[in-house]
Amino acid sequence: MKKIVAILFLGILGFFIFSGIYANDAFGSFGKVNLNDRVSNKFITKSVTNDNEIVEYNKSSNLETGSSNYVTSIVVNYRSFDTLGEVTVLFVSSLGVALLLGSFGGKLTLKYKANFILRVGAKTVFPLIALIGIYIFTHGHLTPGGGFPGGSMIASAVLLLYLSDENFRAKMSSFKLTESLMGSLYVLVGIFGLFTAGYFLSNFLNTGVVGNLFSAGIVPIVYVLVGLKVGSELTGIITDFLKEEVNE
Amino acid sequence: MTNPVLLIVIPLLMAFLSIALKKSKKTLLFLAAIFNVLQVFIIQNGNYIIGGFKAPYGINLNLDSYSHLAVISINILFLLVIVMSSEKINKYSTVLLVSLAGLNGMLLTGDLFNLFVFLEIVSITAYILSTESKKYKYSFNYLTLGTLGSGLYLFGLIVLYAIFGSLNMADISSKMVSYDANKLIVPMMLIFVGLAVEAKLLPFNGWAKGVYGNTNSLIGALFASVYAGTILFVFGRVFGQVLLVSSYLKGVLIVIGLVTLIAGEASAFSKTKLREILVFSSIAQSGLVALLFVSGLIFPAVLQLLNNIIAKAIMFTVAGRISDEAATDDVDSLKGLFAENKLIGFAFTVSALSLIGLPLFYGFYSKINLLLGLFSKSSLLVAAFILLATIVEGAYFIRLLVKLWDPGEEGKESNIKYITDKKVEFDVSKKIIVFALSLIILLAGIYPSLVKDNLFNTDKLLNEDNPSYMFNLKGGM
Amino acid sequence: MIQYVSILLMLIGIYGLLINKNIIKIIVALNIFEVGLNIFIISVGFVSGGVAPILTSVNNSSALIFVDPLPQALVLTSIVIGLGTTALALGIARKMYTTYNSLDLEEIGGINND
């Protein structure tokens, strides 16, 4: 009975949404979007503050944002404030998990016995995964990826260690310190921009040539901070979930 | 230093630092709250863009007299609430710091997606704070509904982006004028549902009773005054000023507000527990304020909103303290409680009477204003329903006050021997602040011109029928 | 087409929220809803014939047709926020299990009765 009511309700809701969206011209022409109608047009030509016609890879220099990955230029330059908020969301939810499960202690015992290959293999690939994570967030302005995927990759390496070794404990105090330091530095980079250029989180460094590793001004710096922060936050969440329940 | 972005980032910086400096996190919280209270008087109205990219391409903060008033009231109330219940803060300092940043961000931002991010920050802090009561099923229910709501809000704003190609409030607002409003019902409705979950409007307020009904003095006052105030200010911004609602949808939203008001007051009437009465009164007030915002009566709505959040800060602090100390908040077992705590009783009474809207209290001024506003829009039916709700509200608040003051059994002479044996001690900071807040209500009720001249005089826009400053300011474009 | 499929996915998520009583299933339903939403956001930025919005040695000029990069940036934020709420929800679920010794909302006593 309940299922039928739910399906009926969703049928009405779905009809409402479908018909409402179908009525709009913006959806009738799926895939025929003209970017000139959207704010993204200026993100592509990097011409919000000055007029340039065309950006060319490995040629154009000193643009308003020097990242060759447009998504990164939006995430860390045009809409950097959102990213600060996003980091905060992750920060506060890891804090919430820690508060909820803080009374738990010890570490969950694994239901299986980690065999030799798993133990040695995990230790061998751990530095490689961590290295790739670092590569991803330092190259966030050139290739797909950035602080968040890179950070999660580092955390996944730590999870691998947890799963392969019963006695492994991450040093949470140092992770907490990293988290705190990186977050504060992100805000301080923003405040530095406020006092030097007049805008919070403004790019106060030279943006260089599009496509070079050392380019894009504060983007790589912010992504390194975000990557390390996300890595330590996710490690914190994993560690909290792997704690054993203690009868209160 | 006149940049309002500091209101957001200084608490955030303190929050990040408080992880490393564990011992002094409470100090950091108070530092940030005091800094913000000082800062709100320094900041100057205008548009502040972030990252140096002009709107609508970058994100901007919109500080006009509406959001200025909002940040002033919210930051001051936040400081007062945490001072009043400073003994409860303990491990929640960092969460409170993040929430302070998020609340200011919600009030100031001029970008719909940025609003979503801050809304999400604030709701996550609210979920965490709601777990304090250890009633996890209520927290879980709140989290599910809240996440669904903000998801729908995001859905709606993406549809708006697909149509208008922009996320900036002012940009969307100006493009909306020349677009068929009937085609926008779906995204508007989705955005409305998203905000309505947090604003406790019917039928999206299933979480409110469990969460509010089990709060202590800190979290109850924080939710009912600071959080509720913020979400309603944002609601007023989005639905009163940014989005142009078609007349059909306006009718639907007004009915939702009205139903929330009536149902809230009726449920409050039928409850016997102090905090539950207050919860439903809060729900009713949210409905009323939302209704006024949707009708375009911004000035009366703000007056009523201020009335509600100041009164609820007092009432929830008192109610939370009572239930912490007496281990119950059943009104019948608390008879005559105020006879021994006269100062607290006085403040509670003032705020209850002001909520009803009796003359001499600030609530009277705001109720008169909103009724006049409705008459001028010839919405007589709505006004009649509001008056009806006021009568119900008056009935249960007076009944509640009589019980709490008078140590007697029904039908018999009041006698000291019937007084409750529950002892509730209030510390000095609570007494002083609660009393001061109630004096503000009284003062503003006796000299309403004081409020009007100081808060609104410089700003004609708030008084105007359909404030169009979004167009005037252009959001920094 | 994909837009309608993503909306369908969202509806499936809401259906799961409505009928499930198991906390973990509710969290899964919430995630299905979020995935549908994320696909919808991405689909809004699709431009047929557009290339991925990254300048490389092959696609080396902004004169090319790119897909809209803004929804991709938004979806990144949305995914991270979804991750945060899911983590918190699982935390609460774990705590509920230790408190009530059950994962079923009906067994716990529902929302309305204490």
Mean pLDDT computed over B67-82: 89
Residue to test with chain A: of C54, C56, C57, C78, most A Cβ within 10 A? C54
Instruction: Examine the pLDDT at A111 and tell me if it is beyond 80.
Output: no
Chain segment A47-57, per-residue pLDDT in tens: 777 777 777 78
Percent of chain B residues topping a pLDDT of 70: 90
Tokens representing B244?
A: 């142009």
Residue B359: strand pairing partners: none
Could you say which DSSP state residue B413 is in? -
Q: Which residues are CB-contacts of B64 (< 8 A; sequence separation ≥ 6)?
A: B45, B459, B461, B469, B473
A151/A183 Cα distance (integer angstroms): 14
Contacts of B162 in chain C (CB under 8 A): 44
Q: Which residues are CB-contacts of A236 (< 8 A; sequence separation ≥ 6)?
A: A94, A97, A98, A172, A175, A176, A179
Buried b (16+ CB within 10 A) or exposed e, C9-19: bbbbbbbbbbe
Lowest mean pLDDT among A90-94, B119-123, B379-383, C15-19: B379-383
Phi/psi at B466 (5° precision): -125, 95
Q: Would an 8 Å CB–CB cutoff place B72 in contact with chain A? A: no
Is A86 in Cβ contact with C69 (below 8 Å)?
Answer: no
Q: Would an 8 Å CB–CB cutoff place C91 in contact with chain A? A: yes
Q: Would an 8 Å CB–CB cutoff place C2 in contact with chain B? A: no
Instruction: Examine the pLDDT at C31 and tell me if it is beyond 50.
Output: yes
Q: What local confidence, expressed as pLDDT, does residue B117 receive?
A: 94
B222/B86 Cα distance (integer angstroms): 12
Chain C closest-CA separation from residue A45 CA (Å): 6
Is C10 in Cβ contact with B162 (below 8 Å)?
Answer: no
Contacts of B91 in chain A (CB under 8 A): 99
B156/B152 Cα distance (integer angstroms): 6
The answer to whether C41 and B160 are in contact (CB under 8 A) is: no
Tokens representing A183?
A: 């977050």
Who wins on pLDDT, B474 or A45? A45
Chain C closest-CA separation from residue A116 CA (Å): 32
Percent of chain A residues topping a pLDDT of 70: 96
Instruction: Examine the pLDDT at A189 and tell me if it is beyond 50.
Output: yes
Q: Shortest CB distance from B165 goes to which of A37, A89, A177?
A: A37
Q: How confident is the model at residue C89 (pLDDT cuts 50, 70, 90)?
A: very high
Q: What local confidence, expressed as pLDDT, does residue B440 receive?
A: 84
Who wins on pLDDT, A198 or B236? B236
Q: Given CA atoms B472, B155, B51, B76 in this order, what sign does their dihedral have? A: positive
* Nearest C-alpha in A relative to C21: A2
Is A33 in Cβ contact with C54 (below 8 Å)?
Answer: no
Q: What local confidence, expressed as pLDDT, does residue C60 receive?
A: 79
> Within 13 Å, how many C-alpha atoms sit on residue B51's CB side?
27
Is A92 in Cβ contact with B128 (below 8 Å)?
Answer: yes
Mean pLDDT computed over A100-108: 77
A39/A60 Cα distance (integer angstroms): 22
The answer to whether B390 and B357 are in contact (CB under 8 A) is: yes
How many Cβ atoms sit within 10 Å of the Cβ of residue B421? 6
Q: What local confidence, expressed as pLDDT, does residue B463 receive?
A: 43
Q: Would an 8 Å CB–CB cutoff place B154 in contact with chain C? A: yes
Q: What local confidence, expressed as pLDDT, does residue B468 receive?
A: 45
On average, the pLDDT of chain B sits at 83
Instruction: Examine the pLDDT at B416 and tell me if it is beyond 80.
Output: no
Could you say which DSSP state residue B178 is in? T
> Within 13 Å, how many C-alpha atoms sit on residue A82's CB side?
29
Chain segment C50-87, per-residue pLDDT in tens: 888 888 888 777 778 888 889 999 999 999 999 999 99
How many Cβ atoms sit within 10 Å of the Cβ of residue B102? 29
The answer to whether B381 and B291 are in contact (CB under 8 A) is: no
Chain segment B181-223, per-residue pLDDT in tens: 778 888 888 999 999 988 888 778 778 888 888 788 888 888 8
